[in-house]
Copies of this chain bind each other. A is one copy, B any other.
Amino acid sequence: MTQISDTAREYARAHGEQFRQELHEMLRIPSLSADPAHAGDVRRMAEWLADHFESLGLDKVAVMETAGHPVVYGEWTGAGPDKPTVLVYGHYDVVPALMEDGWHTDPFEPVEKDGKIYARGATDDKGQLFIHVKALESYLKTAGHAPVNVKMLIEGEEEVSSPNLVPFLKEHLELLRADVCVISDSSMRSIDEPAILHSLRGMTYAEIDVEGPTDDLHSGLWGGAAHNPAVALVQILAQLYNPDNTIAIPGFYDDVVPLTPEEREMIAKTDLTEAQYKQSTGVPAVWGDANYNIRERISARPTLDINGMWSGWSGPGPKTIIPAKAGCKISSRLVGNQDAHKIFDLLKSYIESITPPTVKVDVRLLTTGKAALFPFDIPEMQAAARAYEKGWGVKPIFTRGGGSIPVVAEIADLMDIPVVMMGYGLDDDGLHSPNERFSIEMFHRGIETAIVYLEELAAG
């Protein structure tokens, strides 16, 4: 007996080229949520998506306002109240991309080459969110209906930590009501190792400013008696790390839930070799806390990274100044029971305690995100596992993710539903980096898997 998912999958295969051309249209819109100069492009992206939802026959399609960038919504609820409802979450915004960062082609003019689509947002998250849109389309254009109800919630502020999504969820809880949330905004190690994420790291992101003299000083006339703010900043930052590469902020690890031997055994199966990590990143040697394997360090353990740093003169040639100030962006990936606000307070207190009176310091919170953790023996997770086996052809593994999708914990908490993270990226897709790319095969396999998932969800 032919199932409606078979026909939908045939449709998806027949329309692959068209789907990709539509994705290219999305990728051409530079929807940078962090940059006020691109606010118009962000809105244009939202409107493009809403128009697209309309063209597929979704109901209640709307560009819904928030205090920041809008949310795009659309639903198909023709399966009726006795069938499960799945909420698809994705984000249409992207991080900045500049040619001078090392892009080989225009980040906002997608290029297909060697089986990849190169563009900012290709994998994070335009390409991945579009998989669910095309899966639903494949049902609606063939059977005329889908096995379950589907609600699409695509936001425009994920890359700035979704400051307005929680208020939006609270305000529209009834509209969004669902039995499970599915998100494709993560990656697997290789195409043969599809992964379902059951855990994500949270985040505390801060900015630090150190101020010394009122203006830049001539280093010859004044140097020797002024605490150089760049020197003060490096002295402060260096004290955030222990010699064993752990984090020196007092209390930082207090709330981390220790990994159990069973978890560590499971994680060990997906560990990376040093060679693999070096190959994927280009680092000269692997670094970190030697008490944990590489996979644990990058997914199950907290981190502290300097994301940006600036002071004084960075143009050509010498400029002999003592800079008036120095600053940095610094962020921590959090796990287990670490609370993002508490971690910020610890960071701020520690920095203030080690800053000498020769400079002034200001530590400001930019954003936070909750960590998330779900059991993987529930039906919604197991349906996803079966979907991969059928749609992908490979049994998936359950893993912890090192990244942060702050909204995952928020959705789970507010709506009291599990969140199934079926990521279709590859670990080396270069997201947030120059030459971000998305595998064309992943895109097409993803659509087929998403088609099967809706059927498996209905089966329970």
Chain A interface residues (CB < 8 Å from chain B) = 34-36, 95-96, 101-102, 160-161, 187, 201, 203, 205, 212-228, 230-231, 233-235, 237-239, 241, 277, 280-289, 294, 297-299, 301, 303, 305-324, 326-329, 331, 333, 356-360, 366-367, 401-404, 427, 430-435
Contact = CB atoms under 8 A, between A and B. Distances in A.
Given A234-B233, A316-B36, A432 B101 contact: no
Nearest to A301: B224
Contact of A358 (B284, B357, B427): B284
For A227, A230, A316, the residue with the greatest tally of chain B CB atoms inside 10 Å of its CB is A230
B224 A298 contact: yes
Contact of A282 (B213, B219, B289, B329): B213
A356 B187 CA distance: 30
Given A215-B282, A402-B220, A306 B234 contact: yes
Given A201-B220, A219-B307, A225-B288, A317 B358 contact: no
Nearest to A212: B283
A341 to B, nearest CB: 16
A194 to B, nearest CB: 16
Contact of A284 (B234, B315, B359): B359
Contacts of A298: 221-225
A389 to B, nearest CB: 25
B307 A318 contact: yes
Contact of A34 (B222, B283, B318): B318
Given A231-B237, A233-B309, A306-B312, 9 more contacts: A205-B320, A215-B435, A219-B331, A220-B401, A222-B298, A224-B402, A284-B358, A308-B323, A309-B310
Q: Is the interface of A mostly helix, strand, loop or mixed?
A: loop
A268 to B, nearest CB: 15
Given A225-B277, A432-B321, A433-B215, A220 B307 contact: no
A430 B227 CA distance: 18
B329 A319 contact: yes
A426 B340 CA distance: 50
4 smallest CB-CB distances across A and B, nearest first, come from A214-B282, A220-B403, A238-B238, A224-B297
A288 B227 CA distance: 7
A185 to B, nearest CB: 11
A305 B285 CA distance: 30
B404 A220 contact: yes
A452 to B, nearest CB: 26
Nearest to A302: B224
Contacts of A402: 220-224
A366 B313 CA distance: 14
Contacts of A221: 187, 298, 402-403, 427, 431
A172 B312 CA distance: 38
A115 to B, nearest CB: 20
A235 B234 CA distance: 7
Nearest to A326: B309
A31 to B, nearest CB: 14
Contacts of A359: 283-284
For A225, A231, A320, the residue with the greatest tally of chain B CB atoms inside 10 Å of its CB is A225
A318 B331 CA distance: 9
B305 A231 contact: yes
Contacts of A327: 314
A34 B309 CA distance: 23
Given A35-B315, A312-B307, A287 B225 contact: yes
Nearest to A300: B224
Contacts of A324: 102
Contact of A310 (B160, B161, B218, B314): B314
13 contacts: A217-B281, A219-B303, A219-B307, A221-B427, A222-B281, A222-B298, A223-B303, A225-B297, A226-B286, A230-B307, A234-B237, A307-B319, A319-B432
